[in-house]
Structure 1
Amino acid sequence: MARRRLLWLLVPVVAITAIAGWNYFGVQQPLSEALAADSRNEGLSVFAHYQWYVNSDVLVFDLRGVSGTNSEADVFRSMLQFAQAVQSRNFSKVILAYKGTPRFMLEGAYFKQLGEEFAFQNPVYTLRTLPEHVYNLDGTPAFGTWTGGLLGVVGHQMQDLNAFGKQWFINDAASGN
């Protein structure tokens, strides 16, 4: 009887420990290493895990905090650095969350592309075209694509990038949430 109770206690503890370790070594450790490699990331608090901690097909990039010394660009750069760190992995989608609340998502193939191109792609191009690849959680595009003259298109893309940042984390961070 005592052995049975002990078993009932040990099995969940072992399972939780295994899941936590799997998430840590699979995605959090690469994120932590990517953030630590760039001093501009100091002040950012980001947590990475699999969806529901067990669905390794979906990655969650959860921004937990931004210090007053960090900019919107720091957050986006940290996401790109993480994409580079896990570029050998395949995910169906990447959920972008703020303090545990999912806000947007990216297709996994696009996140992989961001990681593969991070070392050589023009970061201004990457950032201004990023919103075109951002989806609402229901799968609908969060922002449109733009056509027309270069200056007009770039202007709209940068407006979308700013709107994306505000909706993802800036509005809440500015209000103290």
Structure 2
Amino acid sequence: MKGWQKFTIAIVAGVVLVLTVNYLFVHRSLAEAMKEDPRNDGIRAFAHFDYFLVPSSIVFDLRRVDREKSMADVTRLLFQFAQRQESHRYERVTLAYRGEPKFLLEGEYFQTLGKEFGEQNPMYTIRTLPSNLYRPTGEHAFGEWTGGILGVLSRQMEDHNEFHQQWYMRAMLEEHRSGVGPSDF
């Protein structure tokens, strides 16, 4: 066997190994969550280690959301994924749309989401999620609100809606306007 053939085989084997490890340790739990809950039909996402090689951080990459799906459906899938990953410790979790990083979560908070899913009041978790989001550059994406309960609740829900707008909804609308059809990858 020639040197270039050995090199090509080694490269292909390395790529297969990286993809297999990513599937087994990260994506499989997301795939199971999407498959087991019929409410997740119409949402496609892919999860992997950051750059496919950094096991201390993962990427939750939303690829497609059908029009009839709500923000609550997408949030629930994120929480289901966190629940399946709760035994893993990550430094951070990137929330992306079609490969473009949009937000970051601290790994510890992601683990808390997984532990509390099914136990904590879901409205509380949904309302407080935006205040735990960071921009890819590291600054807080949304602030924390103080004041009267009705005002705080209203502002938190506005932040939740804006989070989804910035994460994927505006890009989906632009894709629709420009005639770019949805594709999973």
| Short-chain TM bin | over 0.9
SS of residue matched to 1:147: coil
Residues 1:63 and 2:62 aligned together = yes
**One-letter identity of the residue aligned with 1:132:** S
Residues 1:37 and 2:30 aligned together = no
1:65-80 → structure 2 map (5 Å cutoff)? 65-80=64-79
Residue 106 of structure 2 corresponds to which residue in structure 1? Answer: 107
**One-letter identity of the residue aligned with 2:136:** L
SS of residue matched to 1:143: coil
Cα distance in structure 2, aligned partners of 1:4 and 1:172: 46
Which ranges in structure 2 are unaligned for 5 or more consecutive residues?
Answer: 177-185
Residue 150 of structure 2 corresponds to which residue in structure 1? Answer: 151
**One-letter identity of the residue aligned with 1:122:** N
Cα distance in structure 2, aligned partners of 1:73 and 1:175: 21
Residue 96 of structure 1 corresponds to which residue in structure 2? Answer: 95
Residues 1:20 and 2:19 aligned together = yes
Residues 1:53 and 2:49 aligned together = no
Residues 1:125 and 2:124 aligned together = yes
Question: How high is the TM-score relative to the length of structure 1?
Answer: 0.97
Cα distance in structure 2, aligned partners of 1:93 and 1:28: 16
Query: What percent of counterpart residues are identical?
Result: 42
SS of residue matched to 1:175: helix
CA deviation vs aligned residue, 1:142-169 (integer Å, no higher than 9, x gap): 0000111100100110011011110001
> How far 1:37 sits from its partner (Å)?
1.2
Which ranges in structure 1 are unaligned for 5 or more consecutive residues?
Answer: none
Residue 183 of structure 2 corresponds to which residue in structure 1? Answer: none
Cα distance in structure 1, aligned partners of 2:68 and 2:22: 29
CA deviation vs aligned residue, 1:33-78 (integer Å, no higher than 9, x gap): 0111110100001000111100011110000000112111111110
Question: How high is the TM-score relative to the length of structure 2?
Answer: 0.93
SS of residue matched to 2:48: strand
**One-letter identity of the residue aligned with 1:52:** Y
